[in-house]
Every structure is written in structure tokens, then in C-alpha cells.
Chain A
């Protein structure tokens, strides 16, 4: 256990609990993420890591506890929540690009409708972002015409267009063919280097080693370990983590 955060946390979860009926999916979660930190959340499926990620922008509601972003408590549904979500970028496992809109429109929709940016300005910014993730020439196409890796990079550009304070990645490469995983991870590594605050739920241990400041290991709804990547991978403290890692390494 190294970097236990102080009061200047950008994302802060305190005593968060959630149940799905009988199932206790998040058990008293405490997690602080500081500005510029890259936190990778790993763990076996069903451990609650996706739920944790989705709770941070209230796509999942929580039963009790407190979540705040940049000092502001997560509001109830409504206009305020929409405003707060605009500051939190989210990238989904299944891309979720708007199927009826072009690549360019996917990226400009948020800035135009939420931030009131002019169409010309939004398109200029969007083109820059699309170039940056390497899909600039795809701008007039519809999402279904792109490969999975390209769609996911567009989804990252769409989130970045809102100039978020923090980016959440919910298993961003799990739905991709193996040869497309790297093109998405490269964009994410680049983002991490540029100082973006990121919370990444993933099974890509390579990314965790390369880009993470901290690795959070979850099992059965609890945070079991929270340490530096090299520490976690070489010297895991809990049996649960040792077991998890041994299963990964044997294949």
C-alpha cells in the first residue's frame, strides 16, 4: 500500500455500498484518485469492477456512501447530474457510438448540445481529435462502416471532445479482435503520458505495467489490494491476488 490519497483527490469514493437484490456487489469501497493519476482496476469477472466504474458517473446508483468528483458530490438525476457527467469521459466495452450519426457528428454532438459550442468550432476541434486518434479520414462515415478498433478510438475522441477532468474506461478492449487491441491501448498510453486522470477497468496486464500509477485489485465486491504495478505483479500480498495472477500467467 503506497499512495493513499490526501484531501485533494479528484475522484473520491467513501464507504460506497451497492446491492443487486441479495448480491452485495460493492462492499464498503474507499478509493481516492488524484489529478493526473492513472488507476487500473483489475480482478476476476463478477468482482464489481465494472459496477465501480459505472457508479462514478452514476450510470449505476449506489445504496449508500459518497462519491464526489473534484470536490462536488454526485447529484441526483437531473440537469446538475448531466453537467457533472460532462466533466467525466466514459469509454464503454461495446463502443456505443451513436449508430445513426456520422463519426464527425458523434464527436461534435456533446460540445454543441451540452457546451453550446458553435458547429464550426466543434467540427474543427473534432477533426483535430479524430486525427490524433488516427481516424481523421473516416469522419463522414457511419460507425458500422468502421472496424471495432477504429470505433473505440472514435469513442475515446468523443469523450475527449468534452474536455473531461477524468476519463473512465470500462473494459475498453474486451470486445476487440486481438490485432486491434494495441491500436486502442496505444491511444490510451499516449493519453496517460499527457497527464490525463484515468480510471481503467481492464484485463490488459501489459497496459497496467506500462501506464498505471496504481493497480487496484478487486474481488467479491471489495478492494483487496491497492499498490504500485511492479509491486502488485511481483509481490502480491493477498492469496486472492496471488491466485488470480497465477491463473493469468499459466496461459
Chain B
């Protein structure tokens, strides 16, 4: 039972910190990809294409095995997993958000510029709030994928929910039962996210 508590505790810690970091970084990268500055656009595109095209396992492999050899300050597995998951998920957040930005009519940005708002203000006060509202469903799919991807971190010694099953089997418990329990709790956690998604969809329904 202790194993379940620590396991899911770590899952939730990994999820919440990575989700917040990925949302922030993803928003910045998404904004870079629609920026009028060519250098910002290029950097954003490069980042998304490199990281998104790499399997998550390899991203985490890099932080678990490659990073310590770079001679940089050592980090524990938990931090490494958070950085890896955030960098990976941010690319999906950025692309989701970019599709949302494209649904906001051009006239909205023109009206914002016409009253004297700067590019940054236009984006943060007028375009992004509307973009977020229109991508709530796909954005939550990204977050749900992140929640489940925390199990990948198990392979790199972060004791989270995915590790529970392995541990149970080692102690002779029937593997299938352990697996079912882990699956059930994930279903409950994801259901929680879905409820949150419906709440935001209702609250932020934008009529045009």
C-alpha cells in the first residue's frame, strides 16, 4: 500500500510540475512561432521539430545517461524526469496553441494594434486568451498524455505509479492484479482532468 502512495505521489508531482513548465514554455515557443521576427520563428520551429521528432524514451535516456557525462552540475532523477517531460510536452503545447492562434480572426489583432497595443500586448491580452479558449479539448489531450507519460520515467528509477506493478511482481504478487489497480487509478486521474476540461469549456465558451 505504501508503494501505491509513494508511486502515485511521484506521478502527481511529476505531472503537476511538468504540466506547468510545459504550459509556460509551450506558450513562449508557440508565440515565437507566430512572431514577426524571423530569428524567433526559426528558433521555435527548430526546437519543436527536433524535440517533437524524438521519442520520449530517448529524451529521458539523454537526461538519465547522457547528461551526467556533460560535466554539468549533477541533478537527481526526479529533476531530470521533470525537465525531460517538460521539454517534450512543451512542443505539443506550442503546436496546439499555434493552431488556436490561427483560429483567432486577423481582425482581432488589427483592432488591438489600432488602439495602440504593442505586439506583446496584442498577443497576451487579445490573441492568446482567445487561442487558449479554442484549444481546450486538444490541450487537455496533451496533458492527459503527459500524465500517462510519467510512467515512462519509471524506467529511469523515478518511483512512480508505473514502477508499482514491477515491484509487486517481484514480490510474487500476481502481476495482472497489480496492473489492473494501476490502470484503474490512472482512469480515475484522467477522469478528473476530463471534468476540469469540461469546466473550462463551459466557462470560456466564446461566441462569435
Contact = CB atoms under 8 A, between A and B. Distances in A.
Genuine A/B complex:
yes
A64 interface: no
B129 interface: yes
B110 A162 contact: no
Contact of B208 (A89, A114, A144): A144
Contacts of B207: 99, 142, 144-145
Interface string B117-153: 1110100011001100100000000000000000000
Interface residues of B, number: 24
A155 to B, nearest CB: 8
B107, B108, B114, B121 pick with most chain A CB within 10 angstroms: B114
Contacts of B108: 96, 98-99
A82 B117 contact: yes
A117 interface: no
Interface string A108-126: 0110011000000000000
A20 to B, nearest CB: 16
B36 interface: yes
Interface string A80-114: 00110111111010101111100000000110011
Contacts of A77: 36, 119
B114 A57 contact: yes
A158 interface: yes
- B interface secondary structure, majority: helix
A100 B116 contact: no
A79 interface: yes
Contacts of A94: 105, 107
A98 B116 contact: no
Given A98-B126, A99-B108, A109-B125, A90 B206 contact: no
Contacts of B119: 77
Contacts of B112: 98
A82 B116 contact: yes
Interface residues of A, number: 31
Contacts of A158: 111, 115
Interface string B93-104: 000000000000
Given A99-B130, A109-B125, A142-B207, A92 B115 contact: no
A86 B111 contact: no
B198 interface: no
Interface string B188-208: 000000000000000010111
Contacts of A39: none
A77 B36 CA distance: 10
B63 to A, nearest CB: 38
Contact of B118 (A82, A88, A90, A144): A82
Contacts of A41: none
Nearest to A145: B207
Interface of B: 36, 105, 107-108, 110-119, 121, 125-126, 129-130, 133, 204, 206-208
Given A90-B114, A96-B107, A96-B111, 19 more contacts: A59-B113, A82-B116, A85-B116, A86-B116, A87-B116, A88-B114, A96-B110, A98-B112, A98-B126, A99-B108, A99-B130, A100-B129, A100-B130, A100-B206, A113-B117, A114-B117, A159-B115, A162-B115, A162-B116
